[in-house]
Amino acid sequence: MTTWQAVLLASAGCFALKLLGWSVPSRVLENERVRRTAVLLPVALLGALVVVQAFATGRHLVLDARAAGLAVAAVAVLLRAPFLLVVALAAATAALLRAVT
């Protein structure tokens, strides 16, 4: 399969998935359980992505500078720091620990 065939196939799949979403009856979307799930699902997926990126290398779990950066970012968020400061503190912490070790 060529690259363009893969791109076209993925595009068609995305379009079909979006069309499927538009064809869901409104009574299904008005269900309270579906509404709560739709609100919480992006948060859960983002949390899973952060954990995988912070604690995994390939198929192995690791505890390195990324975990320390994530911990510093969590503390900064709890202290209600601005987003750019949170990112800068996490990056600086990870970079400093990688430089030291």
Per-residue pLDDT of 37-56, as tens digits, reads 989 999 999 999 998 988 99
Q: Does residue 94 lie in a domain region?
A: no
Domain span at residue 14 reads 1-30
Q: Does residue 70 lie in a domain region?
A: no
The partner residues of 57 in beta bridges, in order of sequence, read 60
Mean pLDDT, rounded, for 19-42: 90
- 58 φ, ψ (degrees, to nearest 5): 65, -120
Q: Does residue 52 lie in a domain region?
A: no
pLDDT at 58 over 90: no
Q: Does residue 66 lie in a domain region?
A: no
Q: Based on the structure, what is the number of domains in the chain? A: 1
Q: Is 0.85 surpassed by the pTM of this model?
A: no
Q: Does residue 99 lie in a domain region?
A: no
Q: Does residue 86 lie in a domain region?
A: no
Angle at 29 between CA 23 and CA 33, to 5 degrees: 145
Report how far residue 101's alpha carbon sits from residue 97's, in angstroms, rounded to the nearest whole number.
6
Mean pLDDT, rounded, for 4-23: 94
pLDDT at 5 over 90: yes
